[in-house]
Every structure is written in structure tokens, then in C-alpha cells.
Amino acid sequence: MAGRRRDVEPQRPSWILDFLGRQIRRYRELEGMTQTEAASEAHISNKHFSAIESGTKPPARDLVQVIDHAFNARGALVALRDEMNEPPGSEWFEHVLELEAGASSLRQYAVQVIPGLLQTGDYARAVLSTGLARRPQGWMEQKLEEHLNRQNIIQREDPPELSFILDECALIRRPQNRGLMTEQMEHLLKVGALPHVTIQVAPLDMGLHTMLDGPITIMGFDEGDECVYLEPFGQGFVAYDPVTRTDAERRFDRLKAAALSPTDTAEWIRATMETL
């Protein structure tokens, strides 16, 4: 796997807020100050300072400048605070794609949309078009090319074992173009028939289940531990710690056992196509 591993590779800002708090505490202790003394130096309450150190209250930049100076941090704390407020770039997802390409197995649960590895080009275009941000010229074509390149792992000579659980929500939330969705459903049937691919639907009438926290991807490797990719709004992170991995595996396996079988899923998809 590319890159050095850590137990968790989170994205800003929440992780950096926690890290900033820990670093403020570290510099305070190096200066031999108590929290009360440090709060007095920064002209804030002890409760406020404690919340900053615990990562539960984001500090203003001018306050971090005062703290940085008081603790002789030489700009390190200010730089961390500035990093916290930078928007996340695409580097985190590029790393996820590197991991995905090197995986020997992928288990993925999708709830809102059909996952990228299973999307047709037209469906992917429809999903990408829902964003409200203004994009530079050529952005759509670049993303679609990346999308198609990403799917090469399915057809390569040594493909990973792929197991997908699609929440029914991902299949009933459709683009306005009904023909587009018919094509997408047919593509699911085609890919699902491959010997190394399993596609299952988790129907709404099964009720509450173990994966309600949201989409997740569990990646396995011939050499090394598994990792878990979690994707909250607009960003994501990769976790390697055994607690997260074990919890994700157990939840996924329970949902897999409760979801429609691959055969029943194919029948469900065909029946749904008749209603489009």
C-alpha cells in the first residue's frame, strides 16, 4: 500500500481541532504552566481554555497567536490553526483510490447513490451534475475519465473479490431520465453476474439494520491488515485500528446475512426495471 500507515488518516477540520488542543497542552506543560495560569495569560476563562485543550471549542486565530507567543511555540500553533481552516483538497480521495487499486478484496455498503465502481458513465455524470459549486471548464470530463479508469479493477486479470450491499434508497433515488436508470440497472445485472462480484440489495422493508451510520468500504490486502474507509459529508478518512475494523466487519457481515441473496437481488432489480 502506498504511503505510511497510521491508525487513522482523518481529514480536517475535526481531527486537527483535537490535535491543536493536544499541542497547546503540550506547549503549556513544557512552559510549566497550569491551565489557570495559561488562561490568565490568554485573558480568557479557565473553562474556555480547558475547552480549547480538549478540542471541543475552536479558538479564534488572534487568541492562538497570543497562546503561541506565551508558550514560545514559534508559530507552530498558529500554523496548525490555519491548517484547520483550509478546505479539504482531493489528496485524501486520491489516497483512497490508491488503496482501492491495490486491494485484494472490497466490501462496500452504499446508501444514497450507487457506488462509483458500479456506475455507468451517464449515471456518474448525473450524480456529478448535482453539485452546486462552480467548476472549471473540463472538470466534468476529467472526473468521468477518472471514474472509468477506477473501474478497470473489475475487468483486470487479477480482480479483487467485490461484495456490494446497496440500500434500496440508492436504487429508488433516480435521475429524471428514466432511460438512464434502466441502463444503470442493466449494468448492475451484468457486473453482478461476474464470478468475483456479489451484489445484494438491502430492502427498506427489512427495517433498521447495523449499517445505519452511513456508507463504508472495507478493503483487504494480500499482505497487511485491512482498512476501513468512511465518508462523511464532503470528505473522508481511512481507519486502520483493529477496533474500527472489527466493528465494521461484524456490521457488514450481519447486514450481508439479512440482505437479499444475489439471486433474489437480480430478480428484484428486474422487477424494479419494469416499473421505470
Residue 175: the pLDDT is 84
Q: What are phi and psi of 200, to 5 degrees?
A: -130, 150
Mean pLDDT of 189-194: 97
User: How many CB atoms within 10 Å of residue 223?
Assistant: 7
Residue 8: the pLDDT is 42
Write down the mean pLDDT value for the chain. Answer: 87
31-84: pLDDT as tens digits? 999 999 999 999 999 999 999 999 888 888 999 999 999 999 999 999 888 877
Which distant-in-sequence residues (6+ apart) come within 8 Å of 7 by Cβ? 239, 240, 241
Please give the Cα distance from 253 to 184 (Å, whole number): 26
Q: Which three cell numbers stand for residue 103?
A: 486491494
Using the structure block, give the residue that is written with the C-alpha cell 488542543.
21
Q: How is residue 223 annotated by DSSP? A: S
Residue 133: the pLDDT is 65
> Please, which residues bridge with residue 202 across strands?
167
Please give the Cα distance from 227 to 236 (Å, whole number): 13
Residue 18: the pLDDT is 85
pTM: 0.71
Question: Domain segments of the chain: what residues?
Answer: 9-84, 91-273
93-131: pLDDT as tens digits? 777 888 999 999 999 999 989 999 999 999 999 988 887
Please report, as a single letter, which amino acid is at residue 124: A
Nearest Cα to 160, choosing from 119, 221, 216?
221
Give yes or no for residue 91 having a pLDDT over 70.
Answer: no
3-state class of 104 per DSSP? coil
Q: Which H or E run contains 86?
A: none
Top CATH class of 91-273 equals: alpha beta
Q: What is the CATH number of domain 9-84?
A: 1.10.260.40
237-265: pLDDT as tens digits? 788 888 889 999 999 999 999 999 999 99
Cis peptide, bond prior to residue 242, ω within 30 of zero: no
Nearest Cα to 235, choosing from 10, 20, 7, 4?
10
Using the structure block, give the residue that is written with the C-alpha cell 442493466.
186
Residue 4: the pLDDT is 38
CB 219 within 8 A of CB 103: yes
Nearest Cα to 185, choosing from 256, 122, 106, 255?
122
User: How many CB atoms within 10 Å of residue 217?
Assistant: 25
CB 179 within 8 A of CB 186: no
Mean pLDDT of 210-232: 87
Using the structure block, give the residue that is written with the C-alpha cell 514559534.
74
Cis peptide, bond prior to residue 13, ω within 30 of zero: yes
Q: Which three cell numbers stand for residue 21?
A: 488542543
